[in-house]
């Protein structure tokens, strides 16, 4: 644990802790991506913090290091169609459940970034600012962000006119202008207001 973390009291009874975080609740396009990570206390990773506070280069280096050193890591996701059916909050919870279920090692305790936890078969706790305070959640935030950013870069290759590599699907001015000009492709979340407006289903 680096000393930059605000003090977080780890639950005493837990032996195998998974950290969980999500990326992509705000964008208009693509999946919401979650990650779950169980770190190896005997193989520490330096420099873990909230993925948004790291440079892209540093994130990519940590992404590889986490995958190499963690006891277990996994991804969970909900695609745009599921987000439209469930709503973004419920879709995020489902994606988190999928990430935890997919871990190759079963955790006995799960720490989730934010103030809400999905229903899980083991004890869990929500940690506000967890991506800054809990190394396991920091690691999950990095895995989720790099994964989703790369998906947006891949979508940008297919549809360069939208600028996905730059704004990563978030509702920026340039993104709105591209959406107005080029219309809605299938990867958009049809239940999000700006997209509904373009589709005329407001």
b/e 130-143 (16+ beta carbons within 10 angstroms → b)? bbbbbbbbbbbbbb
Question: CA 24: distance to chain centroid?
Answer: 6
Q: Which residues pair with 126 in a beta bridge?
A: 112
Q: Tell me the chain's radius of gyration from C-alpha atoms.
A: 17
Residue 130 in tokens? 């967890």
Number of Cβ within 10 Å of residue 161's Cβ equals: 9
Distance CA 156, CA 47 (A): 30
84 is in an annotated binding site: no
Order of strands across the sheet with 72-78? 72-78, 32-38, 17-23, 109-113, 123-127
Distance CA 72, CA 17 (A): 10
202 is in an annotated binding site: no
21 is in an annotated binding site: yes
What CA–CA distances, in Å, run from 123 to 16, 24, 117? 11, 25, 10
Annotated binding site: 21-22, 113
Residue set of the binding site for a divalent metal cation: 21-22, 113
């Amino acid at each position: 644990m680096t000393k930059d973390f605000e003090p977080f009291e780890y639950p005493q009874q837990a032996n195998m802790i998974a950290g969980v975080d999500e990326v992509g609740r705000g964008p208009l396009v693509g999946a919401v991506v979650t990650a779950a990570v169980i770190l190896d206390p005997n193989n520490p990773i330096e420099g873990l913090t909230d993925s948004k506070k790291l440079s892209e280069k540093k994130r990519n280096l940590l992404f590889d290091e986490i995958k190499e050193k963690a006891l277990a890591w996994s991804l969970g996701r909900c695609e745009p169609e599921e987000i439209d059916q469930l709503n973004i909050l419920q879709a995020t919870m489902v994606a988190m459940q999928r990430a935890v279920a997919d871990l190759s090692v079963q955790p006995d305790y799960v720490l989730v970034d934010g103030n809400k936890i999905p229903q899980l078969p083991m004890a869990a706790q929500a940690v506000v600012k967890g991506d800054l305070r809990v190394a396991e959640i920091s690691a999950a935030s990095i895995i989720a962000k790099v994964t989703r950013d790369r998906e947006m870069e891949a979508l940008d290759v297919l549809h360069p006119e939208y600028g996905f590599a730059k704004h990563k699907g978030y509702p920026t001015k340039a993104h709105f202008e591209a959406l107005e000009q080029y219309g809605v492709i299938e990867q958009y979340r049809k239940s999000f207001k700006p997209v509904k407006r373009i589709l005329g289903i407001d």
